[in-house]
Amino acid sequence: MRQRRGVRGREYAWANAKRVQAALEQAGVAYAHHPELAPTTELRQLQYTEDDRQGVGKRSRTELAPAYRERYVAEILDRADLPELVAELPGVGAAALFCVERDPDACHRSLIAERLASEHDVEVGHLLPCDCRRRAVRTARCAPRRPRAATLRRRGAAATSCSSA
């Protein structure tokens, strides 16, 4: 759900697409890439302009610009085939939307998660590092310096757990 572009820096080495896919394959976890849900370069530039106006870096922003949200929904999300994505969700366990943003409200994936919850009866929970004290739901286990994600589960689907987190 992102355009294929490099995320720079040692802190984001885990976000490398090849590394993520290899690790998931090794763990027996399916991977699906949905480039149709990635923001366009023009939309990203709109957000960067707002970041500059507010004097925040893209890694330190806490929310998306209202204009970005509005245009992402109209130009990307409203046109997406979300019922197909929901059909791909596992009947048992959970799926995840991975994100490099620290705060879910600062990422376009939060807009996808909101839509899946409100219109497709998908249960959403956000996995956050311990020191992120925003509105999102925190998990019992903290995962500092690990991938942030929104877990997606069909309502009524059985949950599974992982002891390696």
The DSSP string of 120-159 is: H-EEEEEE--TT--SSSPPPSS--TTS-EEEEEEETTPBP
Region of poorest pLDDT, from 10-19, 71-80, 116-125:
10-19
Three-class secondary structure of residue 98 per DSSP: strand
Q: How far is CA 27 from CA 9, 21, 78, 80, 94, in A?
A: 25, 10, 33, 29, 14
Contact present, 70 and 43 (Cβ < 8 Å): no
pTM of full prediction above 0.85: no
Q: Is the pLDDT of residue 47 over 90?
A: yes
Mean pLDDT for the stretch of residues 130-141: 47
For tokens 């990307």, the residue is 76
CA 165 to chain CA centroid, nearest Å = 18
Whole-number percent of the chain with pLDDT over 90: 39
For residue 72, which phi and psi values (nearest 5 degrees)? -60, -45
Q: What angle do CA 80, 81, 87 make, to 5 degrees?
A: 140
pLDDT at residue number 128: 76
3-state helix, strand, coil in the chain (%, to 5): 40, 10, 45
